[in-house]
Amino acid sequence: MNPTTIVKYRFPTITLLASALCLGLLWPAPVRARQGHQHERIPNVMEYLDRLDRPERDRDQKPSEVIEALGVKPGMSVADLGAGSGYFTRRFVEAVTDTGKVYAIDVEPEALKYVEESLVHMHRPYQAEFILARPDNPKIPFESVDLIFVCNTYHHLEDRPVYFRNSKSALRPGGRIAIVDFYHDDRSGELGFPKRHLVPRDRVVQEMTEAGYTLLREHGFLPKQYFLEFIPQ
């Protein structure tokens, strides 16, 4: 896959199952997450991506409410930064329709391939671009998006004030950055990984202020995660 392929009116070439098998063959080795979790290893990537997509996740993640709260509408351009399995990317595709555009961005090529295949299997027209990010640069084109959405990925990033100061140029006038991530305390329950990697809500606000943003609003309906929206100062 070309990491920056624009896909429109494309329909499935292989099944997701075949893709999964393919990925399993091509990516049998443990994968090292390259950021905040860099010393940890994901033993099975397909399992990891499938886990991000597990239907039970909807109960606490409330994806429809998240998209609605963000006011994502047809024609908008949205970057899903740290797209993972595409759990939110697919919902953005539905919300912006083919008059808008979605950027799926990740440091893992296999995740982008997984997302691309899952979009194809939605059997609907869409515009999407798949960007293989550098750990320190999401490579979103200049003034291309109305929203950068960062779910459960903020804590993977390093030098975040610099990272987000440099990402400002990707926003169109009026653009926002939304950050959803797990609480570092009991509110997030058992997560299956050590909470020392997580970034407390107040520190996110502090770092984003340092990066040149203002907290626009905060949503309180997610039980395990904070949900913050920022605009450039």
Ligand X SMILES: C[S@@+](CC[C@H](N)C(=O)[O-])C[C@H]1O[C@@H](n2cnc3c(N)ncnc32)[C@H](O)[C@@H]1O
Q: Is 87 in the site for ligand X (CB under 6 A)?
A: yes
Find the shortest distance in angstroms from Cβ 158 to ligand X.
8
**Which residues make beta-bridge pairs with 78?**
102, 147
Does 151 contact ligand X by CB under 6 A?
A: yes
97 conformational bin, left if phi > 0, alpha if psi -120 to 50, beta if neither: left
The gap from C-alpha 80 to its chain's centroid, in whole angstroms, comes to: 4
Among 62, 82, 91, 160, binds ligand X (CB under 6 A): 82
**What count of other Cβ atoms lies within 10 Å of the Cβ of residue 147?**
22
Q: Tell me the per-residue interface mask from 46 to 65 with ligand X, x by CB under 6 A, - otherwise.
A: ------x-------------
Other Cβ atoms within 10 Å of 76 Cβ, number: 21
Phi-psi category of 121—alpha, beta or left, where left has phi over 0 and alpha has psi -120 to 50?
alpha
Return the number of the residue (83 or 147) whose C-beta is nearest ligand X: 83
Please report whether residue 133 would count as binding ligand X according to CB under 6 A: yes
The one segment of 1-9, 10-18, 148-156, 195-203 that binds ligand X by CB under 6 A: 148-156
Give the three-state DSSP class for 229: strand
Shortest distance in whole angstroms from residue 9 CB to ligand X: 26
Stretch that binds ligand X, among 9-17, 78-86, 181-189, 193-201 (CB under 6 A): 78-86
Q: Binder to ligand X among 92, 106, 130, 201 (CB under 6 A)?
A: 106
Could you tell me which residues come within 8 angstroms of residue 69 by beta carbon, excluding any fewer than 6 positions away? Answer: 219, 221, 227
Asked if residue 207 binds ligand X (CB under 6 A), the reply is no
Euclidean distance between CA atoms 26 and 17, whole angstroms: 14
**Residue bearing tokens 């099944």:** 15
Point out which residues bind ligand X (CB under 6 A). Answer: 33-35, 52, 81-85, 87-88, 105-108, 111, 133, 135, 138, 151-153, 156-157
